[in-house]
Chains A and B, each alone.
Chain A
Amino acid sequence: DIHLTQSPSTLSASVGDSVAITCRASQSVDTWLAWYQQKSGTPPKLLIYKASSLESGVPSRFRASGSGTEFTLAITNLQPDDFATYYCQQYHKSPWTFGQGTNVEIK
């Protein structure tokens, strides 16, 4: 299975900050990578697909990039609604796998 490692595991930030989350894959996934946001008690929400494509309705302050084994999700001008847990997911090779998550918390 392809293993995804996210860093950091926890990130403390303030409203208005810019933050970045990294997702590293144990082997190349080309650009077959998605990012999700999840808040407590609710299902994940798709933010990004194919490494850098913004899902419809997702604010443009979310940007993502990368290919191969290293990917980044960047959030600029953090809003109160952005404090959540973020997961990367690869769909290059079955089984589709997720990173362990990055919790973005209020500083």
Chain B
Amino acid sequence: QVQLVQSGAEVKRPGASVKVSCRTSGYGINNEHFSWVRQAAGHGLEWMGWMNLQTGNTAYADRFQGKVTLTRDASRNTVFMELSSLRFEDTAVYYCASGGMYNWKFWGQGTLVIVSS
């Protein structure tokens, strides 16, 4: 049984950064791609980028290039998504997802990030 467990909700000031973790269990982490998808009210679902856990390779959607950094700690079966220069419009639920490179059968429970002054 594959499980993705994400870190808890965060409240951040504009201009700050946030780092969300996603710990996986029940699967060979080194053979997996992990994507991050965000869901903001009124903006639907947006794919942000993925990381190949075996190679460390990453790919980002253009609009998140320079805004998002994906990293991993293979020893802890954990991937991280860091979002910088936070703006009010970055308020959203952030999901990690795996099970494929292009579409995803396993999802974390989501992490709510609130940007508020």
A and B: real partners? yes
* Chain A residues within CB distance 8 Å of chain B: 32, 34, 42-46, 49, 55, 87, 89, 91, 94-101
B side interface size, CB within 8 A: 21
Query: Given the complex, which residues of B lie within 8 Å of A98, measured CB to CB?
Result: 44-47
The minimal Cβ–Cβ distance linking A36 to chain B, given in whole angstroms, is 8
Residue of A nearest to B108 (CB): A43
Interface of A, helix, strand, loop or mixed by DSSP = loop
Q: Which residues of B contact A42 (CB under 8 A)?
A: 109
Tell me the smallest distance from the CB of B36 to a CB of chain A, in Å: 11
- Interchain CB contact (< 8 A) of A96 among B99, B102, B109: B102
Measured CA separation A77–B44 after assembly (Å): 27
A-B contacts besides A32-B102, A94-B61, A98-B45, 11 pairs, CB < 8 Å: A43-B95, A43-B109, A46-B104, A55-B105, A94-B59, A95-B47, A95-B62, A96-B102, A98-B46, A98-B47, A99-B44
